[in-house]
Amino acid sequence: MADTILKAEHLTKTFISGKKTLTAVDDVSFELKQGECLGIVGESGSGKSTIAKMLTHLESITDGKVILKGKDITNIKGKELREIYRDIQMVFQMPMESFDPRCTLGDGIGESLRNMGISR
């Protein structure tokens, strides 16, 4: 039986603007086991990007939890959060916008590694 690498339990995200609330993600759960690939599919505006942002801490979680390699990472912050980025990262839909055109690709990738304390 394969080990569970990533588990989302009852993820919910509600945005509040003034008196209006919008539930972008409502009670989403899934598991990703070692060796598996996971695709999150849905219509435009269905919450796919919001789920990915919650998993990577780019968006806060209103309710539910995220477990990465057996560790609950839902509420971690600071140094602990930086350490999990060795195991989970966001790949943006427009990769060309993710890199500085004034730097080489190697410099851009190297910057991320240096930020994690990984030397040459």
Domains of the chain: which residue ranges?
4-76, 90-120
pLDDT at 96 over 70: no
Share of the chain above pLDDT 90, in %: 55
Question: What does the pLDDT average to over 101-116?
Answer: 77
Task: For residue 52, report the phi and psi dihedrals to the nearest 5 degrees.
Answer: -60, -40
The answer to whether 56 and 89 have CB atoms below 8 angstroms apart is yes
Average pLDDT, the chain: 87
Kindly indicate the confidence band of residue 112, based on its pLDDT and cuts at 50, 70 and 90: confident
The topology (CATH level 3) of 4-76 is: Rossmann fold (3.40.50)
Q: What are 70's two structure tokens?
A: 């057996």
8-state DSSP, 103: S
Q: What is the pTM of this model?
A: 0.77
pLDDT at 62 over 50: yes
pLDDT at 1 over 50: no
pLDDT at 98: 65
Select from 93, 47, 15, 120 the least CA-distant residue to 55: 47
Share of the chain above pLDDT 70, in %: 90
Question: What does the pLDDT average to over 13-35?
Answer: 94
